[in-house]
């Protein structure tokens, strides 16, 4: 029998599979918070933070009210509907390789969703999507008080109905299960709670396995090829929107060691509107005489969209 109460995470299951197994140092669950990322960043600033908040600390919230995505975009989740989770890590890798760590969380989630027959993939630089529909976003931050630490948060749409999604191009596990041939759980049932708890454990267990391989080698190399193979942006025609209003179109052909996306640029847009002619955006695109390879870092990109989308 169903009710309208949120599907609470199973604390006993989280502790057994994630902490008692030795995969994580601690897993904490809170009912509601503004941002799990902000909470861990604040925790790192407290006295004796390294002892109280060790490597492989996990914080998850039943409800998040003030989360942020890239470009400081707001992100929130209704109680019991999503997985709002952050990890505090102290990765044993060179600073120049740390941008690959958040992608490990994305690879782990892709695998957990694939185990449920949901055809997920990574979208550069920090999203997990299902055939163009965003199902999760990842955001990392370095605590200024502890540059050796890294806080990585992930918001996963799990039990959201279509009218609860943050954007028209989003999706959720609840909506993808029928497309994968599975019967989704009814909201408010034990099965709905089990779906959230089981997915969180599956995702974090796979994350821990990937992170362990990195820690043991002191390098991202053991998993780098696996990460790149999961990014389906590569080989696609994309449009890169830049902060000054300009944009480029072309084929995404590679991810560099510094995390930048390399695009074989075939067209450029000067600005959204031509101040002299007032012409529309399509009139401002000009073709390159020959394709030029350029690399773009995540922090320098406003949007990455399919090339055929609205100009």
- CATH of 11-230, picked from 1.10.4000.10, 3.40.50.300, 3.30.930.10, 1.10.3720.10, is 3.30.930.10
pLDDT in tens, 72-116: 455 556 788 999 999 999 999 999 999 999 999 999 999 999 999
The DSSP string of the chain is ---SS-----HHHHIIIIITTSS-SEEEEEEEES-HHHHHHHHHTSTTHHHHS-SSEEEEEEEEEEEE-GGG-EEEE-TTTEEEEEEEE--SS-GGGTTHHHHHHHHHHHHHHHTTT--EEEETTTEEEETTEEEEEEEEE--TT-TT-EEEEEEEE-S--GGG-SSTTB--HHHHHHHTT-PPPPTTSHHHHHHHHHHHHHHHHHHHHHHHHHHHHTSSHHHHHHHHHHBTTTTSEEEEE-TTS-EEEEEEEEE-TTSPEEEEEEEEE--SS-TTT---HHHHEEEEEEEEEEEE-GGG-SEEEETTS--
CATH 2.30.30.100 domain residues, the chain: 237-306
CATH 3.30.930.10 domain residues, the chain: 11-230
Q: What topology is assigned to 237-306 in CATH?
A: SH3 type barrels. (2.30.30)
pLDDT at 187: 80
User: For residues 258 and 63, what is the distance between their CA atoms, to the nearest angstrom?
Assistant: 34
pLDDT at 79: 83
pLDDT in tens, 13-63: 999 999 999 999 999 999 999 999 999 999 999 999 989 999 999 999 999
pLDDT in tens, 102-112: 999 999 999 99
pLDDT in tens, 192-240: 999 999 999 999 999 999 999 999 999 999 999 999 999 999 999 999 9
């Amino acid at each position: 029998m169903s009710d309208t109460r949120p599907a609470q995470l199973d604390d006993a299951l989280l502790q057994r599979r994630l902490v008692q197994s030795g995969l994580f140092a601690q897993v904490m669950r809170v009912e509601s918070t503004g941002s799990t990322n902000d909470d861990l960043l604040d925790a790192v600033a407290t006295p004796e933070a390294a002892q109280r908040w060790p490597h492989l600390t996990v914080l998850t919230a039943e409800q998040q009210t003030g989360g942020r995505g890239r470009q400081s975009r707001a992100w929130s989740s209704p109680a019991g509907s999503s997985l709002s989770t952050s990890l505090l890590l102290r990765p044993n890798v060179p600073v120049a390789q740390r941008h690959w760590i958040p992608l490990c969380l994305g690879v782990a989630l892709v695998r957990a969703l694939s185990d449920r027959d949901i055809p997920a993939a990574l979208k550069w630089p920090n999203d997990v999507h299902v055939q163009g529909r965003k199902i999760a976003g990842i955001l990392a931050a370095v605590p200024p008080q502890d540059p050796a630490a890294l806080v990585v948060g992930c918001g996963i749409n799990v039990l959201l109905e279509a009218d609860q999604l943050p954007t028209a191009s989003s999706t959720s596990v609840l909506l993808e299960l029928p497309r994968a041939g599975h019967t989704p759980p009814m909201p408010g049932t034990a099965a709905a709670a089990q779906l959230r708890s089981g997915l969180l454990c599956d995702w974090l267990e796979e994350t821990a396995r990937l992170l362990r391989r990195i820690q043991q080698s002191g390098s991202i190399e053991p998993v780098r090829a696996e990460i790149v193979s999961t990014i389906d942006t590569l080989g696609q025609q994309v449009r890169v929107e830049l902060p000054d209003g300009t944009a480029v179109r072309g084929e995404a052909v590679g991810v560099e060691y510094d995390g930048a996306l390399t695009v074989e640029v075939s067209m450029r847009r000067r600005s959204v509107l031509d101040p002299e002619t007032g012409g529309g955006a399509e009139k401002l695109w000009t073709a390159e005489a020959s394709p030029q390879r350029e690399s773009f870092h995540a922090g320098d990109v406003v949007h990455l969209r399919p090339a055929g989308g609205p100009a």
